Structure 1
Amino acid sequence: MSNAVAASPLDRCRHVLRLLGPGVLMATAAIGGSHLVASTQAGAQFGWQLALLVLLVNLLKYPFFRAAVSYTVSTGDTLQQGYQKMGKGYLMTALGLNCIASVVNAAALLMFSASLLGYFLPMDLPIPALATAVLAAVLFILLAGHFNALDNAAKIIMVLLVIATVTATGVAWSNGPVAPADYVSPSPWTFATIGFLVVTMGWMPAPIEISAITSLWLKRQTNEARVTPRSALFDFNLGYLTTLLLALVFLSLGALVLHGSGQTLASGGIGFSRQLVGLYADTIGDWSRILIALIAFLCVFGSALTVYDGYSRAVAEAMMLLKGNKEASPRVYTWVLLAVAACSFVIVLFFKSALMAMLSFAMTLAFVTTPMFAWLNHRLVNSTNIASEIRNGVVMRWLSIAGLLYLFGFLVVFIWWKFIA
């Protein structure tokens, strides 16, 4: 009996680790372009001035990501099944937006992964050749290993990334900022920087359609393990809090090491990747260069894995629901995955080495589509009987309304800035 008692804490720990899945996967999908690029750029250009904006956009998007957990755990259905119950038009809208977002976001992460892969090679290879190798690895893992391989890879990547980034930022703090004492930071609150603010917020912490993907992963997990409303919410909150904290850490790294240094971030894929790795290596030490490059590659590659898998599952499910089926078969998922892979590769061929332009385009598109997905999730959750343990309270309901006003309001400002002013 004593052995059973002694083993029980370990058993509980293993049980918790088994329940950590969809939230960690969401964090892995989020911590890619939005953190390595957008947060670092924000700190490099404007110092600490955008820290509150990063906090605000994460806070105001929270209810719409949480909707995936609230709805799926309470009903046993995915968000897209909920869209269908609201009306066929809602599901068709989500499908159309996901078809566009899937290929654009996958292409952006594919190009970024290919650029980082080029760092390890002794010879210079064109981005299309590097993208071919990355895409082949993605398809092999997803078609051969499927969800279990994806789940395990996500947890390993997250641990490595957190350790490396926190270490680099800690060293940067101890060294102090590189900006001269009399350096005057430019203001981000001007008419000309609206586009940059939109790019920063587009993937921060991730496009809201990722919530539908989280819902799919969560439903799959409930079929394999005992998931309670509280354990599902704990997993989600842990992943979401991790993305928020790391966004601030990356911003800090940019503010401490690049802000006021006179350096500008390269726009080309290979050049930016070398500069990004150098940012860490110059802070921690040159010995860490290869290690940091590997971790950065795994970070973005992990995002690519989760995006290719998740978007393909979401598109396949929506297609089958519109045909009257309850869920997508593995065969349909495979064909959708191959179609997303082919379309994203064509986009990479079009943009070639213009990595920053590709990422900016993807983040801007995400910001434009975000208000619609936010409204869909808001409407669905507020018209459903949610489990009492995770039901939205007064604060969460008002936060959701504030988030809608913010997202739609800033979208109007962006359209006015882009096409009218």
Structure 2
Amino acid sequence: MKQKLAHFLKSLGPGLLFASTCIGVSHLVQSTRAGALYGFGLLWAVMAANLFKYPFFEYASRYANATGTSIIDGYLRLGKWMLWLYAIVTLSTMFFVTAAVGAVTAGFFDNLFGISSSLGPGAVQYLLPILFVVCILILYVGQYKILDSLIKIVGAVLLLSTVVAFVLTLIKGPVSSQHQFFEPSILDPSSAGFAFAIALMGWMPTALDISSWTSLWTLERIKQTNFKPSLRETLREFNFGYIVSAILAPCFLLLGAYLLYGTGYSMPGNSAAFANGIIELFTQTMGDWSYLLIAASGFSIMFGTCIAVFDGYARTTERVATLLLQGDTANKSTASKTGSYHLSLLFVGVGAYIIIYFFGTSLKDLVDLATTISFIVAPIIALVNFRLVTGKYIDKDQQPSALMRWLSYIGIIFLLFFTIIYIVYY
């Protein structure tokens, strides 16, 4: 038992980073909005997305442990066309995703320190380049190590406060008695509810195209600790993070449903006002004394998420570029090369700020666009990840079980079904 715990702690990191990436926007923003707008009408979408997308995230960690390379290397093994396709998918989403996460983080920062009230509402837009520079500098200096340490601290604080707020909200009860667990109008492809459901599932628990990050972080953790866990230990660590994320998603939905649904209150589109609305949900149940604590932990988790997004996209960009330029002759090591990693960080930051410059800080539009793009490309990533762990690329004893395979089939059908409907109608 003692040895199992020691091994778990040595491998602990990638799963928590994954959970942080999920909680940052899909939970704090999208799940809360879902509850506020539709009560429990989209609970099925939250639960289904967490269940049916699970295998394809797990496969990235599985592949990294089994082969000692990232799943991005696996895409090249399928053919250079697949690596190019993944490069296009990454390029089409990463600036929108980073911009959306940055806008949310800036909103929580503004809420915590009252920047807008002192310098005017336009001040938030000037916070973003400062925020991006800070994230880049932190990763310049510490890379994975500082990111790993930061997430473990702030994630624990937010987890505890969310559970407390959830329990107190259950005890207090809903402000409205109009709740129902299924809203038929949401399934009408021409309705605003259907479009929102697609956006919600696009980042629930997070975008499927960033499953590659968990494989990169798994390999970086092995390098950092000089400890190679077994496949079971790697998957146990990933599952811990995934389960935490999956449990918190309906908690945030319930907070929005119990405290806002039926009141006529609409979550603001402005990032700072939205952040304030999220924090007030907690203080309504925990008391005014908790405002500063929740504001600080909310900003901290979003700041950690923002750093994780920069790190994930920089590592991805670096690895994709290396494989495209060098092909099969590329070094099998996926460790970050300092110069190209730093250049990739700058590339992500500049691109994301250009998106924000044109979109402004209209948080809801930015998030919905990023999440919808992620949902549309999800079936492609799901199919490829599944093929890499069920074919000739890893040993039979390291391949997923029959149950996981069946869950994968259902998941692929689920993703394809909603994607096709969305493409046809929109």
Superposed CA offset, 1:272-302 (max 9, x none): 1111111111121111111111111112111
Q: 1:101 aligned to 2:97?
A: no
User: In the aligned structure 1, how far is the partner of 2:160 from the partner of 2:244?
Assistant: 12
User: In the aligned structure 2, how far is the partner of 1:182 from the partner of 1:16?
Assistant: 41
Q: What SS does structure 1 have at the residue aligned with 2:113? A: coil
User: Which piece of structure 1 moves more, 150-159 or 116-125?
Assistant: 116-125
Match of 1:153 among 137, 150, 153: 150
Aligned-pair CA distance for 1:15: 4.0
User: In the aligned structure 2, how far is the partner of 1:102 from the partner of 1:414?
Assistant: 21
Q: 1:267 aligned to 2:269?
A: yes
Amino acid at match of 2:310: Y
Superposed CA offset, 1:196-243 (max 9, x none): 110110100011122111111112222322311111000111111111
State the match for 2:168 in structure 1.
171
User: In the aligned structure 2, how far is the partner of 1:330 from the partner of 1:299?
Assistant: 26
Q: 1:353 aligned to 2:345?
A: no
Q: 1:138 aligned to 2:135?
A: yes
Aligned-pair CA distance for 1:121: 2.8
Q: What SS does structure 2 have at the residue aligned with 1:77? A: coil
Aligned-pair CA distance for 1:13: 3.9
TM-score, normalised to structure 1, is 0.93
Match of 2:84 among 89, 92, 113: 92
Counting aligned pairs with the same residue, the percent is 32
Q: Say if 1:345 and 1:415 are closer, same or farther in 2 by CA, change over 3 A.
A: same
Question: Residue 376 of structure 2 contacts residue 419 of structure 2 at CA under 8 Å; is this kept in 1?
Answer: yes
State the match for 1:364 in structure 2.
372
Question: Residue 15 of structure 2 contacts residue 240 of structure 2 at CA under 8 Å; is this kept in 1?
Answer: yes
State the match for 1:329 in structure 2.
337
Q: What SS does structure 2 have at the residue aligned with 1:264? A: coil
Aligned-pair CA distance for 1:337: 0.8
State the match for 2:400 in structure 1.
392
Amino acid at match of 1:264: S
State the match for 1:316 in structure 2.
318
Aligned-pair CA distance for 1:386: 3.7
Aligned-pair CA distance for 1:127: 2.2
Aligned-pair CA distance for 1:100: 2.1
State the match for 1:4 in structure 2.
none
User: In the aligned structure 1, how far is the partner of 2:211 from the partner of 2:292?
Assistant: 34
Superposed CA offset, 1:236-263 (max 9, x none): 1111111110001111111111111221
Counterparts of residues 29-40 of structure 1 (less than 5 Å): 29-40=21-32
Amino acid at match of 2:291: R
Question: Residue 371 of structure 1 contacts residue 407 of structure 1 at CA under 8 Å; is this kept in 2?
Answer: yes
Question: Residue 47 of structure 1 contacts residue 185 of structure 1 at CA under 8 Å; is this kept in 2?
Answer: no
Aligned-pair CA distance for 1:14: 4.6
User: In the aligned structure 2, how far is the partner of 1:181 from the partner of 1:308?
Assistant: 41
Q: What SS does structure 1 have at the residue aligned with 2:403? A: helix
Question: Residue 7 of structure 2 contacts residue 233 of structure 2 at CA under 8 Å; is this kept in 1?
Answer: no
Question: Residue 390 of structure 2 contacts residue 399 of structure 2 at CA under 8 Å; is this kept in 1?
Answer: no
Q: 1:204 aligned to 2:214?
A: no
Question: Residue 56 of structure 2 contacts residue 386 of structure 2 at CA under 8 Å; is this kept in 1?
Answer: yes
Question: Residue 58 of structure 1 contacts residue 205 of structure 1 at CA under 8 Å; is this kept in 2?
Answer: yes
Aligned-pair CA distance for 1:43: 1.3
State the match for 1:57 in structure 2.
49
Amino acid at match of 2:324: L
State the match for 2:105 in structure 1.
113
Amino acid at match of 1:40: T
Amino acid at match of 2:86: A
State the match for 1:240 in structure 2.
242
Q: Say if 1:335 and 1:385 are closer, same or farther in 2 by CA, change over 3 A.
A: closer
Aligned-pair CA distance for 1:383: 1.5
Question: Residue 7 of structure 2 contacts residue 229 of structure 2 at CA under 8 Å; is this kept in 1?
Answer: no
User: In the aligned structure 2, how far is the partner of 1:211 from the partner of 1:35?
Assistant: 17
Question: Residue 183 of structure 1 contacts residue 260 of structure 1 at CA under 8 Å; is this kept in 2?
Answer: no
Question: Residue 26 of structure 2 contacts residue 205 of structure 2 at CA under 8 Å; is this kept in 1?
Answer: yes
Counterparts of residues 207-218 of structure 1 (less than 5 Å): 207-218=207-218
State the match for 1:5 in structure 2.
none
State the match for 2:309 in structure 1.
307
User: Which piece of structure 1 moves more, 39-48 or 244-253?
Assistant: 39-48
Match of 2:187 among 186, 189, 203: 189
TM-score, normalised to structure 2, is 0.92
Aligned-pair CA distance for 1:163: 0.6
Superposed CA offset, 1:34-86 (max 9, x none): 00111111111222232222111111111111111221111111101111111
Aligned-pair CA distance for 1:180: 4.1
Amino acid at match of 1:73: N
User: In the aligned structure 2, how far is the partner of 1:276 from the partner of 1:102?
Assistant: 25
Q: 1:403 aligned to 2:411?
A: yes
Aligned-pair CA distance for 1:190: 3.1
Q: What SS does structure 2 have at the residue aligned with 1:276? A: helix
Q: What SS does structure 2 have at the residue aligned with 1:120? A: helix
Question: Residue 40 of structure 2 contacts residue 179 of structure 2 at CA under 8 Å; is this kept in 1?
Answer: no
Q: 1:375 aligned to 2:394?
A: no
Amino acid at match of 2:205: P
User: In the aligned structure 2, how far is the partner of 1:182 from the partner of 1:248?
Assistant: 15
User: Which piece of structure 1 moves more, 240-249 or 318-327?
Assistant: 318-327
Aligned-pair CA distance for 1:130: 1.3
